Structure 1
Amino acid sequence: MRQAGRYLPEFREFRTKHEFFEICRNPEMACEITLQPIRRFDLDAAIIFSDILVIPQAMGVDVKMVAGKGLEFDNLLKSPEDIDRLNCTFDIKKELGYVFDAITVTRHKLEGKVPLIGFSGAPWTLMSYMIEGGSSSTSSKAKRWLYAHPEASQRLLQALTDIIIEYLVGQVMAGAQALQLFESNAGILGHSLFSKFSLPYIRQISTRVKARLAEQSITAVPMIVFAKDAHFALEELSQSGYEVMGLDWTVKPQNARRLSGATVTLQGNMDPCALYAPKESIGKIVKEMVSKFGTQRYIANLGHGMYPDMDPEAVKAFVDAVHEHSAAMNASN
């Protein structure tokens, strides 16, 4: 889940003075926002404050976060010819070095208290944003490309994959101790399109990131893949080279365990809306979730991000309940 965000009053206060992507591009500011939830909650890891859209920005897509409106895109991709105006070979260190600097600064500030997670959007999700211009219930404009322009789509997806690999390797070199790949728009594809236009690139990222790190004698870090609503591809995802598979709340824990085998750790998957429940109910929901997953090869988490109107005390209730019930289960085993 995105730990920092508008549900925190300290984040909202910070945002009154600074634009969203201004914060992302300033290592000290990004560090401060990353640390806000760590100070407030007893979390077991921190996730660097950034955004998946920094890659499209670096490629030449104009993305802004407008207060009260959300994301605004100016020069979306409308035809395959538009791929040629993208900068697909930009200098990663030059254009995205601020993310690496934020990771390094944050690692120092954390002083080993918890590990720091880096992340990126996956190729299909980034491609769909670059065509749709934001979230879409159907992603019909982006999916149209897959049917009408399959070769151009694969060319763009491969270009994004190459960038993401270098970006994630750079994050590890800067100090990230785990990596997460977000395929947030996986579910809209269905099994056939997912198998052709998402999964091969997801696999390629895990394989090539680990190979690049090995080439430089850098110890590999755990990699997490989260493909939202891709319940139809759990078995394939569990075999895609990632140590951890994130799950949204629509997946039955028992099914995920059965399909993922004995070596993959599962992460998830409480419905974020459960945080609207009374505090005592949150504890019961967490207890049921942890009991279904078990405490081995499991990372308790939400099944997606939090919403701006959520109560920080509800988040605290969730985190505290996870620690309470997992400790009780471990003690009884």
Structure 2
Amino acid sequence: MPSSRPSVLPADHPLQRPASAGGTADAPLLRRYRGEAVEAAPSVWFMRQAGRSLPEYRRAREGTGMLEACRRPDLVAEITVQPVRRHRVDAGIFFSDIVVPARLAGLDVEIQPGRGPVFAHPIRTEEDVRALPSLGDDYEAALEPIREAVRLTTAELGPVPLIGFCGAPFTVASYMVEGGPSRDHLRTRALMRERPEVWARLAAWVAEASGRFLRAQVLAGASAVQLFDSWVGSLSEDVYRRHVLSHSAAVLDTVADLPVPRVHFGVGAAHLLRALHDAGATVVGVDHRLRLDRALDLLGPGVPVQGNIDPAVLFTSEAARYAEARAVLDAGAGAPGHVVNLGHGVPPETDPHVLTDLVSFLHAEPARS
């Protein structure tokens, strides 16, 4: 990061104004992220709430590739706001993909339908890492569509906070090493052990690209951030702390001087919750594999949490869904702050009416934290 980076938010940032003036400074969701007592109804948003579960998303994306859509500010803004309009969730999550920073930096990566991100040239050797593009002024200029997308989005969201988003270094670098999706990440885990210095340089490059991508979102108007680590559950805590934690910390540090909550979420990462917090998170996301009250015991006092309704209940009866939602609220009641979410993303097959009704149900429940 450039040493001259500003350490204060712009005067027109949504966090500089209360809701009565169209800002987000006093938004209940952000207050919960900050661990403040809130009397309002529970706060809720859903990972992957903007996406294939919505017919309006499919119409907006028709004929446009995923990575192209992520670089069109008008389309990003429209897609980000769609679930807020429909479901009345308490935050928008910036519509993007974890490989967008790599694409903006100049790497040849595509998202193949039915498969996911695929890199034309996997990064597996010291020479491959040396050949990565520099992250200089050209990269900073390439972030302008991201800033414009955030500006358009926050103008429409008004007092609803926008959460900035990026992928964590382990998951993004794993895609780069494997060349695409992988079940076991064997090449990545082997590289960490066989050539730890090569892994470290690759992860540091990803951390800088992702960190600057995240900071651009905040300075343009995002009121919180989430660092998403899809594959981190495949690592032991020892390996995570030795080879990964410092790189995730570097991403979160790019916004640590700004007054935004920092959420860190990993899939299948119950054994890593303390490590995820130690990486610089102020809020820890918990997936559906661990009850929130048990997560709080692992994290210790003073840590706000996010989660963790099992996405499977979106395909059950209304009674089963609401029972799980109440159980999650009760389990999170001991946290200094709890924001309701799923334990992973919204499945594409989800009936959007189910999500809308679930939000209405949660908003009718009494506050627990």
State TM-score, norm by structure 1: 0.90
Name the residue aligned to 2:44. Answer: none
- Partner deviation per Cα, 1:161-219 (whole Å, 9 max, x = no partner): 222332222211111110111121111111121111221222233334324x4xxxxxx
State the distance in 2 between where 1:320 and 1:198 align: 39
What is the CA–CA distance in structure 2 between the aligned matches of 1:278 and 1:168, rounded to whole Å? 38
CA shift for structure 1 position 65: 2.5
- Structure 1 distance, partners of 2:62, 2:338, is 38
Equivalent residue number for residue 228 of structure 2: 182
Q: 1:265 aligns with which of 304, 315, 321?
A: 304
Deviation at 1:19, TM superposition (A): 1.8
Alignment partner, residue 38 of structure 2? none
Counterpart of 1:117? 163
Residue 202 in structure 1 maps to residue 242 in structure 2: no
Displacement of 1:301 in angstroms is 0.3
Distance change (3 Å), C-alpha of 1:303 and 1:88: farther
Q: Which amino acid aligns with 1:239?
A: D
What RMSD over aligned residues (CA atoms) do the two structures have, in Å?
1.8
Counterpart-to-counterpart distance in 2, 1:189 and 1:127: 14
Farther-moved stretch of structure 1 (224-233 vs 26-35): 224-233
Structure 2 CA distance for partners of 1:158 and 1:69, relative to 1, 3 Å: closer
User: Larger helix proportion, structure 1 or 2?
Assistant: 1
- Could you tell me the percent identity over the aligned residues? 35
Larger relative CO (CA 8 A, sep 6+): 1 or 2? 2
Query: Which residue number corresponds to residue 17 of structure 2?
Result: none
Q: Does 1:226 align with 2:265?
A: yes
Alignment partner, residue 150 of structure 2 = 103
Moved over 3 A (4+): 66-72
Alignment deviations for residues 115-135 of structure 1 (CA, whole Å, 9 cap, x no partner)? 011111111111001112333
Taking the aligned partners of 1:247 and 1:188, their CA distance within structure 2 comes to 16
Correspondence 1:41-60 to 2 at 5 A = 41-60=87-106
- AA aligned to 1:179 is V
Equivalent residue, structure 1, for 2:127: 81
Q: Structure 1: 5+ residue runs without aligned partners?
A: 214-219
- 1:8 is matched with which residue? 54
**Greater displacement, 261-270 / 237-246:** 237-246
> How many angstroms apart in 2 are the aligned matches of 1:98 and 1:144?
36
* TM-score, normalising length: structure 2: 0.82
Mapped pair 1:286 → 2:325: yes
Q: Distance in 2 between matches of 1:326 and 1:198?
A: 39
In structure 2, runs of 5+ residues without a counterpart are: 1-46
Partner of 2:173 in structure 1?
A: 127
Q: CA deviation at 1:69?
A: 4.8
For the pair 1:239 / 2:278, whether they are aligned, the reply is yes
State the match for 2:10 in structure 1. none
- The superposition leaves residues 278-330 of structure 1 with CA deviations (integer Å, 9 ceiling, x where unpaired) of 22221111011111111751011001111111111221232222222344x57
Question: What's the offset of the Cα at 1:54?
Answer: 0.7
Distance 2:247 2:204 in 1: 7
Separation (CA, whole Å) in 2 of partners of 1:198 and 1:205: 11
Partner residue, 1:256:
295
